Structure 1
Amino acid sequence: MDLSDELKTADWRKAAKSASNQGNCLEVAPLSGGRVGLRDTEAPEKEPFVVSASVWDAFMDGAKKGEFDF
């Protein structure tokens, strides 16, 4: 399957917390080849960003450790 087709039919997920109910949310989707798609719910017309599983894992590890907290 072509990546653009896969992104259209991907199983997009977003956090169930209150912020996501207001539309300002990041959605993620698992893709073939161990890739992860990312998209902004506030800009659905923009092409999703795609990263490798290792990049996603490193980001998630940092997020869990609070490395991105402001």
Structure 2
Amino acid sequence: MGVYDEALTMITTWIETNMGLPADTVSPDARLAHLGFDYLLGEELSTAIEMKFGVDVLDTMIEEGATVGQLAKAAASAS
């Protein structure tokens, strides 16, 4: 499993755990806003990504309609 796949799995699992959406229904093309993200959820996910991958994902990226796949790519870029 590559770093991108690991990041994607981490993010979709986080969404499942914290938002109650089944991970297998969250596609890489899904926009976080369409999944129900608000500022607080964005902060929490950003912190989780930073703790796991050591990269600070810009909160604005989350707020500006990033997709799950774009976040995974940003997280993977640190490795």
Could you tell me the TM-score, scaled by structure 2's length?
0.31
Structure with more of its chain in helix, by fraction: 2
The structure having more radius of gyration, on CA atoms, is 1
